[in-house]
Amino acid sequence: MGAVDVTFKFGGEAGQGVETTGRAFARSVVRAGLHVFGYQDYHSRIRGGHNYYQIRVSDREVHSHNEQVHVLLPFTQVTVNEHLREVVPGGAVVLDPALGIDEKQIAATGARPMPVPLQQIALNEGGDVVMANTAATGAAAGLVGLDLEVVSGVVRDSFGKKGGPVVEKNLKVAAAAYGFARDKYARDFAFKLTGRKGSPRMMISGNDALAMGALVGGVKFVAGYPMTPGSPILEWLAAHSAEYGLVTKHAEDEIAAVNMIIGAAQMGARSLTTTSGGGFCLMVEALGLAGMTEVPIVVIDVQRPGPATGHATRHEQGDLLFLIHAAQGEFPRIVLAPGTIEQCFEAGYRALNLAERFQCPVLILSDAFLAHSPRDLPLEAFDLNVPIDRGDLLTEEQLDTLQAPYLRHAVTESGVSPRALPGHPKAVYPISSDEHEANGHICEDAAARIEQMSKRMRKLETARGEMSAPIEYGPREAELTFVTWGSTVGPLRSVLELLQAEGKTAHIVQIVDIWPLPVDKVEQALQGAKKLVVVEQNYGGQLATLLRACTDVRPAALINRYDGRPMTPEYILRRLQEVA
Amino acid sequence: MTMVDLKDYASPVRPTWCTGCGNYGIWNALKQALVEAGLAPHQVMLVSGIGCGSKLPDYTTANGFMSLHGRTLAIATGARLANHGMKVICTHGDGDGYSEGGNHFISTVRRNVGIVDIVQNNRVYGLTKGQYSPTSPQGFVTSTSPEGSIEPMFLPLAVAIAAGGTFVARGWSGDTEHLTWLIKEALGHRGYALVDVLQPCVSFNRMYSYNWLRPRVYKVQDEPGYDPGDKTAALVRAQEFGDRIPLGILYRTEDEPAYEEQVPALAAGPLVQQPLRTTSAEDYESLKMEYV
């Protein structure tokens, strides 16, 4: 770990601006040249309840949140009740005396209550109690010695749209709270943040990175139906549609959404839909349609705990086996499971390429933790000049000179048939959800069935050869090998750093290209593993099941979690003691 | 106008419809209307679902998409938004359009996407051998309604008008000349055009035969003073279904823009003809600055 490793936690009711405040503070920290990992925990309600936003700050890259809090900023008594035990000895609880929070209770745990009259400052300096959130950001910055100018810059950007007076008032509130906390508490507070010079960095979460990846990958048509935690992708693409020349359609339901993208993709528009597991359930029949008719589509499932409504705003990785098997019958599909922000960006454009190359559905399996948790990245982390590969797509010129009748499902060695988009006089053809011949017409002949079925399934084997090897962290010869997928790799990388700090080590194998499973590459990565522990956020151990079914790998143990809360490094280490 | 001939639409695949099936009349009227409109097969996308009528694209040389039961309009909406340079025409049955696809029906009408929607309405499930459909009359006895169906029949034209439909019409397979005219008018409509077509199912709906329908149907344009621009009057006619059954364009307005006319990105032409990346590298680079 770095010399600096400080966590801030803002907590309060839904509607109190916990997320906005936390995000603004995190952005200030990134602008000060430090690294952050943001974690958001909220309930499925618009008002009330208990939400929090946690920001871990370091002078080195941060891969996950953890269980220690150095500065707690409660907007409610509930926040203190829930999180006081996480505050480290000597850590601060910055509270507004107006909230009537019990200070003795705080002091009794070794934490330090630090009253700051946030609402009073907001009223005095800004004239509106709403600005107490800005005061909280200012107070947190003043306490740890963050440059006031950085906070002011974020305030200017956040409130700029609301006009001069609002910005000015908020700036005054931030400065006053900053000064109050600095003058009264900073001198003997142990945890400090020192800004560093550096080039500008982005603070971005998985959903936004995925949407941006798809946009630069040339997505032209998007349809979706809102469902947490997948809707921000739909909203992001809708917001950028007019400017970047794409069509985003909020459909009447998920069934319409997926069928719309199939219609659009057949015409030649690169298309995607985004949802969560429940919405994906509704899309399943159409998934088979895309498989049968060989229409390239991309479906994003941002997982949340199931079944049914499950935990609407929480985290789980319970859809892996479902996505691999969804829909009746057998057909090729590709499943990508990004686990980092960079991998989300890459999956966004790569899925569009793979869909057109293999003319089949490509599913991106993200999850709530990945979707919502921002990290800071250098601008160069996303190279926007991404490769665009439309696969075996016949050009206008090739179609003009076509000699033989065009066969949409021509039998080939790779299984991929040259694709003509509807609209050319030499390539007029039907496609059908019924089994069909190479020319697309419906056919119940046994030989034709075998021919088309095996042609389609050959694409799966062709694709398997192109699936990337798992990503590895730490030495292969370590005593312990963790196998994982999705965002769980973040906490695992923090575990690796903790082990390294104690002079130990571990090997992590993260499978991103998860279906068709590149069996040889996975087996090779796990060949010398001494003790193999699968780590994933579900009840049954779905990756472990997949490994047993498809490879010679036999995991020794499973570390899992299914309470809707993402794993922390501490959680993994505790469970490791049980399974070791 | 392109020179198009009926033979251009001929397919080597022969229909499997029963002798006397109403689908033949609809099929012939559609092809005739396309020829008269000067549309060549490569300029047309026929989208269907599942059912006897949904096999029409298989028997027709044109771009076709035989999709899933009930999802015809959703597929067609995506196709039209991706390429509004192409005529998108749906052919699907009453079960597909009004039952399994009921939600899509209401939403597509409201949306006014430029689709011609021909619903082959035989008031029964034919391909699954004779169960009652949403347009079957109340009390209709079938294998799934042995005591007679309890639901009152669905009135597609009334629903379409109430949902904001801009072209609401009915034809019948026994009068292909009139149906050809209707489909041609629908092809010239700006937004979503519903052409509900009454057709006998000679195998599973003996009750609603040619002889039952012929004396009952009448054309609204033959009614003195009928104005297809009068929505209230149209809504009254749309609920008429008994001794007299209205045919023709019950309601039409060309004052409402189609959905695709109102999408900013489509002002530059059909989506599939636009480049995958439409603006400068600097514009894309500025996306990152939203996060700094």
Closest CA to B51 of B28, B22, B80, B74: B22
CATH number, domain at B245? 3.40.50.970
pLDDT in tens, A62-78: 999 999 999 999 999 99
| Top-confidence residue, B1 or A99 | A99
Report the residue of chain B nearest A199, measured CA to CA.
Answer: B292
Distance from CA of A154 to the nearest CA of B (A): 10
B78–A264 C-beta distance less than 8 A: yes
pLDDT in tens, A500-520: 999 999 999 999 999 999 999
Residues A543, A538: Cα–Cα separation, whole Å: 10
Closest CA to A371 of A230, A571, A481, A166: A230
Residue B2's pLDDT band, with cuts at 50, 70 and 90, is low
Cβ atoms of residues A323 and A303 within 8 Å: no
pLDDT of A289 higher than 80: yes
Return the bridge partners of A482, or none: A508, A533
A261–B103 C-beta distance less than 8 A: no
Cβ atoms of residues A222 and A232 within 8 Å: no
Which tokens sit at A111? 């934490």
Residues B31, B8: Cα–Cα separation, whole Å: 9
Per-residue pLDDT, averaged over A209-238, amounts to: 98
A422–B287 C-beta distance less than 8 A: no
Distance from CA of B62 to the nearest CA of A (A): 6
Mutate to test the interface with B, among A260, A271, A273, A409 (most CBs of B within 10 A): A260
For chain A, give the mean pLDDT. 96
ipTM over 0.95: yes
- Alpha helix (H) ranges present in A183-251? 206-216, 231-244
SS (H, E, C) A400-468: HCCCCCCCCCCCCCCCCCCECCCCCCCCCCEEECCCECCCCCECCCHHHHHHHHHHHHHHHHHHHHHCC
pLDDT in tens, B170-187: 999 999 999 999 999 999
Burial label, A160 (beta-carbon count in 10 A; 0-12, 13-18, 19+): exposed
Chain B partners within 8 Å of A203 (Cβ): 291-292
Closest CA to B259 of B79, B83, B77: B77
Other beta carbons less than 10 A from residue A485's beta carbon: 26
Chain B partners within 8 Å of A434 (Cβ): 66
Report the residue of chain A nearest B46, measured CA to CA.
Answer: A430
Selecting from B74, B83, B292 the residue whose C-beta is nearest the C-beta of A201 gives: B292
Residue type at B269 in one-letter notation: G
Cβ atoms of residues A360 and A291 within 8 Å: yes
pLDDT in tens, B220-232: 999 999 999 999 9
Distance from CA of A124 to the nearest CA of B (A): 31
Residue A2's pLDDT band, with cuts at 50, 70 and 90, is low
pLDDT of A280 higher than 80: yes
Q: Is B8 on the interface with A (CB under 8 A)?
A: no
Distance from CA of A350 to the nearest CA of B (A): 14
Q: How many helices (H) and strands (E) does chain B have?
A: 9, 10
- DSSP of A496-563: HHHHHHTT---EEEE-SEEES--HHHHHHHHTT-SSEEEEESSSS-HHHHHHHHHSS---SEEEE--S
What is the extent of the structural domain holding B221?
6-289
Residue A46's pLDDT band, with cuts at 50, 70 and 90, is confident
* Range A204-381: architecture per CATH: 3-Layer(aba) Sandwich (3.40)
Chain A partners within 8 Å of B71 (Cβ): 255-256, 259, 286, 289
Per-residue pLDDT, averaged over A16-40, amounts to: 94
Per-residue pLDDT, averaged over A148-152, amounts to: 94
Q: What percent of chain B has pLDDT over 90?
A: 94
pLDDT in tens, B17-75: 999 999 999 999 999 999 999 999 999 999 999 999 999 999 999 999 999 999 999 99
Residues A213, A274: Cα–Cα separation, whole Å: 14
Per-residue pLDDT, averaged over A321-344, amounts to: 98
Per-residue pLDDT, averaged over A153-179, amounts to: 91
Chain B partners within 8 Å of A260 (Cβ): 74-75, 77-78, 81
Q: Is B244 on the interface with A (CB under 8 A)?
A: no
B292–A202 C-beta distance less than 8 A: yes
The reply to whether B148 falls in a domain is: yes
pLDDT in tens, B92-119: 999 999 999 999 999 999 999 999 999 9
Whether CATH 3.40.920.10 fits A5-198 = yes
The number of distinct structural domains making up chain B is: 1
Cβ atoms of residues B91 and B53 within 8 Å: yes
Query: What's residue A164's pLDDT?
Result: 84
Q: Is B285 on the interface with A (CB under 8 A)?
A: yes
Size of interface A-B (CB pairs under 8 A): 199
Residues A573, A241: Cα–Cα separation, whole Å: 45
pLDDT of B1 higher than 60: no
Residue positions counted in chain B? 292
Residue A530's pLDDT band, with cuts at 50, 70 and 90, is very high
Q: Is B79 on the interface with A (CB under 8 A)?
A: yes
Cβ atoms of residues A91 and A111 within 8 Å: yes
Crossing angle for the helix pair A148-159 and A132-144, to the nearest 10 degrees? 160
Chain A partners within 8 Å of B77 (Cβ): 249, 256, 260, 263
B75–A428 C-beta distance less than 8 A: no
Residue type at B11 in one-letter notation: S
* Degrees to nearest 5, angle at CA A148 with A142 and A150: 125
Q: What percent of chain B has pLDDT over 70?
A: 99
Calculated CA dihedral for residues A272, B279, A160, A62, nearest 10 degrees: 60
pLDDT in tens, A398-431: 999 999 999 999 999 999 999 999 999 999 999 9
A423–B85 C-beta distance less than 8 A: yes
Chain B partners within 8 Å of A355 (Cβ): none
Closest CA to A552 of A517, A515, A505: A517
Per-residue pLDDT, averaged over A311-315, amounts to: 95
Q: Is the pTM of this model over 0.95?
A: yes
Q: To which H or E segment does residue A277 belong? A: helix A277-293
Separation of first and last alpha carbons in chain B: 55
pLDDT of A319 higher than 60: yes
Strands (E), A136-267: 201-204, 221-224, 247-250
Q: Is B86 on the interface with A (CB under 8 A)?
A: yes
Query: What's residue B245's pLDDT?
Result: 98
Parallel/antiparallel/unpaired status of strands A471-473 and A507-510 = antiparallel
Selecting from B43, B77, B291 the residue whose C-beta is nearest the C-beta of A263 gives: B77
pLDDT in tens, B112-157: 999 999 999 999 999 999 999 999 999 999 999 999 999 999 999 9
Whether CATH 3.40.50.620 fits A471-579 = no
Distance from CA of A99 to the nearest CA of B (A): 33
The reply to whether B19 falls in a domain is: yes
Per-residue pLDDT, averaged over B231-237, amounts to: 98
Residue B76 three-state SS = helix
